[in-house]
Amino acid sequence: MSGPSVDAVLWDADGVLQHTPPEVWGLATTVVAQFPGALRGAPIDEASIRRAADAVGLGDRIDDVLSVWWTFDVLAPSLATVAQVRAAGTRCYLATNQDAYRAACMRDKAPYDDLLDGAYYSCDVGVAKPDPAFFVHIATDLGIAPERLLFLDDQPANVDGARRAGLNAECWTHSEGLPRLLDVFERYGVGADRAL
């Protein structure tokens, strides 16, 4: 171990614990932009998404647009790693930017509530990554000093925001493979089985 040991790992969702097909993200980007405050808790629901899709000329593709909220593949290898980390004694929390509608879909369809020690959705926190206040809120709520937390995200800007808040943070995406993630864990004294 070459880095500090940590008391908890904060996991991003998209790109780390789950995968959403790029074509789904790409199609919905224009619609999502119509809701600038949604990641911080501004109201959003299926009806408002439908209206926004109509307004930007995507009403004829509404099922494809809506699939960004409903469609994500939970990544079994990442979830197995979370279970290993928790079994080794390190707490694990979800730390993700989501609007309230997608957060509800994730709570309904993904196993995070059962697998993790807790979850922090930006729509509930009232501030979104990469704002350092998102991470300060989590550290304060957990009662853990920022330097005792490790944050994993696939977006460099979010990693930078966590570091500015005093957290240890590493950029990692599921496509890089578990060996690299396990190397990160080794640097921070986080237990996980390399046989995964």
Which SS3 state, helix, strand or coil, does residue 74 take? strand
Cα Rg of the chain (Å, integer): 17
Helix axes of 22-32 and 46-55: crossing angle, nearest 10 degrees? 80
Cβ atoms of 96 and 18 within 8 Å: the answer is no
> Whole-angstrom Cα distance, residue 52 to residue 183?
43
CB contact at 8 A, 150 and 8 = yes
Question: For residue range 115-154, what is the model confidence (pLDDT) as tens digits?
Answer: 999 999 999 999 999 999 999 999 999 999 999 999 999 9
CA dist., res. 6 & res. 13, Å (int)? 20
63 contacts: CB under 8 Å, gap ≥ 6: none
Is this structure's pTM higher than 0.85?
Answer: yes
Our measurement of the distance from residue 174's CA atom to the centroid of its chain's CA atoms, rounded to an integer in Å, reads: 12
Indicate the fold that domain 8-19+74-187 takes in CATH: Rossmann fold (3.40.50)
Domain limits, the chain:
8-19+74-187, 22-70
Which pLDDT score is estimated for 1?
A: 44
At position 61, the amino acid (one-letter code) is: R
**Average confidence (pLDDT) over 42-65:** 91
CA distance 90 to 174: 20
Residues 58 and 65 sit within 8 Å (Cβ to Cβ): yes
Output the pLDDT for position 115.
96
- Please give the Cα distance from 35 to 172 (Å, whole number): 27
Model confidence at 196: pLDDT above 70: no
Of 28-37, 104-113, 144-153, 172-181, the poorest mean pLDDT is in 28-37
Question: For the segment 65-104, what is each residue's pLDDT rounded down to a tens digit?
Answer: 888 887 788 999 999 999 999 999 999 999 999 999 999 9
The HSE-up count of residue 160 (CA atoms within 13 Å, CB side) is 4
pLDDT tens string 151-176: 999 999 999 999 999 999 999 999 99
| Whole-number Cα distances in Å, 144 to 122, 176, 181 | 19, 29, 22
| DSSP 8-state class, residue 61 | G
